[in-house]
A and B are shown apart, each in its own frame.
Chain A
Amino acid sequence: NAGVTQTPKFRILKIGQSMTLQCAQDMNHNYMYWYRQDPGMGLKLIYYSVGAGITDKGEVPNGYNVSRSTTEDFPLRLELAAPSQTSVYFCASSLAGGLDEQFFGPGTRLTVL
Chain B
Amino acid sequence: RKEVEQDPGPFNVPEGATVAFNCTYSNSASQSFFWYRQDCRKEPKLLMSVYSSGNEDGRFTAQLNRASQYISLLIRDSKLSDSATYLCVVNRHSGGYQKVTFGTGTKLQVIP
Contacts and interface: CB of A to CB of B under 8 A. Distances in A.
Interface residues of B, number: 23
Contacts of B92: 98
B97 A90 contact: no
Given A42-B87, A90-B44, A101 B34 contact: yes
Interface string A42-64: 11110010100000100000000
A32 to B, nearest CB: 12
A75 interface: no
B32 A41 contact: no
Q: Which of B8, B43, B102, B104 has the most chain A CB within a 10 Å cutoff?
A: B43
Interface string A26-49: 000000010100001111110010
A104 B97 CA distance: 20
Nearest to B32: A99
Contacts of A90: 43-44
Contact of B43 (A41, A99, A106): A106
Given A45-B100, A97-B97, A105 B43 contact: yes
Given A44-B102, A98-B32, A98-B99, 8 more contacts: A33-B100, A41-B104, A42-B4, A42-B87, A42-B105, A102-B44, A102-B89, A106-B42
